[in-house]
Amino acid sequence: MIRYLTAGESHGKCLTAIVEGVPAGLKITEDFINHQLSRRQYSFGRGERLQYIEKDKVRIASGVRWGETLGSPIALVVENKDWENWEKIMSLSEADRSEKFRLVRPRPGHADLAGVLKFDRRDTRDILERASARETAARTAVGTVCRRLLEEFGIKIYSYVTEIGGIVAHLKGLSVEAAFELAEKSPVRCPDKHAEEKIVDAIKKAKDEGDTLGGIYTVIVTGCPPGLGSHTQWDLKLDALLAQAIVSIQAHKGVEFNHGFEMTRKRGSDLHDEIFHDAARGFYRKTNNAGGVEGGMTNGEPIVLQAAVKPLASLRKPLKSVNILTKEEMSAEIVRSDVCPVASAAIVGEAVAATVLANAVKEKFGGDSVHEMKDNHARYLDHLRNF
Ligand code: EPS
C-alpha cells in the first residue's frame, strides 16, 4: 500500500510529509518535485504571499539514495520561506504567547468556528493554520512522487480549468493534450482564450471588491489499463477513492465523473459507452461518458473527473460573525488570502489523483521494486492481449 501523512501549519517552520510504500528503484529528484510545486504555486488570483515572498522547494530527507528510492519511507520537507516573519506568532514557546496575536472572529465558510468548538481553543489561529490550503504544497510533493511512479506505467495526469466565477470555457473539439498545453500557458489554466480574458477581469473585479471566486476544473488520467480498483468492496472502488481524495482538498465541495449530474437527465440507451473489439486494440469504446470508471474499476478509457471549488471564506469585505470570547456580533476576521485559487487547485487535484492511482497500481501489480511491478504489469498486459 502507498500511504502518506502530512504535518505542518500554514505559517509554521515547514511542511512535512512521509510517504510509505513507494517501491525501490524509482528515479526521483528534488527538481522533479519542485517543478510541480511551482506549477501549483503560481496562478492569477493567488495572494501576495505566493506571488512575492515564497518559492517552494522540497528537501527529500529520507528514502532516496543516489537518485533512486530505497523502498523505505520517503520524508519530504517544504520550508516556509516567510518563517522569520512568523517566528513569534507561531512560536513553540509559551513565553511568546501574546494577546495581540489572538484571532477571535471566525470566518463563515471556514474551519474556524467548528474547530475552536471541537478542540476547545480560544484563538481561531489554532485551527486556521492547519485548515489552510498551504498544506496542499505537501500533498503536491507527495503526489509528484506518485506521478513519477505512474510514469513508469505509461499513466499521465492532466488538468485544466473549465469555469471560474460562472464564466464557462468552451473546449469542444480540443483533444486532452491540446487543452492541457493551452492551460499550461494560461494564468488561470483555462484553455479557452476568450473565457480566460473574462475570468482574469472577473478576478480583478472580485479583488477590488474584497471578494472571492470559485470554479470548476477537470482532471484527466490517461494510460490506465482496465481493472485498477475493485467492485468487490466499498472502500476499494477507485471512483470512491478519487472522490474522497478530491473532496479532501481545502475548499472543494463536489466531484463528478465526467458529467455525472448531467448524465441523470439522459436515458440509459443514450448514455452508456457501447463495447467494441478489434485485434489491435482489444476491447474499446467510442465514447467515454462513464469517465473511465465502471463498477469502481478503470475500464481502459481515460479517467475524467470534475472538481468544484467554492469561493474562499477569507473575505476582505467580511461577513457577519460573532466574537468567540464576548459573543458580540462583529464582522469576521480579515485574514490575508487568495482571491481565486482554482487554477492552483487543479494542480493539487492532479497530485491527489496521482496518490490514489499509484496506490491502485501498487495493489494491482504488487512488488517491492519498480522492476518487479513492471514485470507484473507486462504479464497483465499480455493477459489482456490474449483474453
Ligand atoms: C491560505 C492563505 C494564504 C495563501 C495560502 C493559503 O496565505 P497567507 O494568509 O499567508 O497569505 O497564500 O496558500 C499558501 C501559502 C500556499 O502555498 O498555497 C489559506 O488560508 O488557506
The CA distances from residue 198 to 167, 231, 334, in Å, are 7, 43, 27
Confidence (pLDDT) at 54? 74
User: Would you kindly state where each structural domain of the chain is located, as residue ranges?
Assistant: 3-385
For the chain, the straight-line distance linking the first and the last C-alpha, in angstroms and rounded, comes to 28
Does the Cβ of 133 fall within 6 Å of ligand 1? yes
Which of the four CATH numbers 3.90.480.20, 3.60.150.10, 1.10.3720.10, 3.40.50.720 does domain 3-385 have?
3.60.150.10
Does the Cβ of 337 fall within 6 Å of ligand 1? yes
**Which of 6, 9, 10, 13 maximizes ligand 1 atoms within 8 Å of its Cβ, making it the mutation to test the pocket?**
10
Confidence (pLDDT) at 51? 62
Confidence (pLDDT) at 196? 98
> How far is the C-alpha of 376 from the C-alpha of 21, rounded, in Å?
17
CA of residue 11 to ligand 1 center, whole Å: 8
Confidence (pLDDT) at 78? 98
Does the Cβ of 134 fall within 6 Å of ligand 1? yes
Does the Cβ of 350 fall within 6 Å of ligand 1? no
Confidence (pLDDT) at 48? 78
Confidence (pLDDT) at 336? 86
Tell me the average confidence (pLDDT) per consecutive run of 10 residues in the chain, 387 residues long.
Answer: 98 98 98 97 87 85 98 97 94 97 97 98 98 98 98 98 98 95 98 98 97 98 98 98 98 95 94 95 95 98 98 96 98 93 98 98 97 98 96
CA of residue 30 to ligand 1 center, whole Å: 23
Cell output for 191: 484553455
DSSP helix/strand/coil, 78: strand
How is 239-263 classified by DSSP, letter by letter?
HHHHHHHHHTSTTEEEEEESSHHHH
284 exposed, middle or buried (CB, 10 Å; 0-12, 13-18, 19+)? Answer: middle
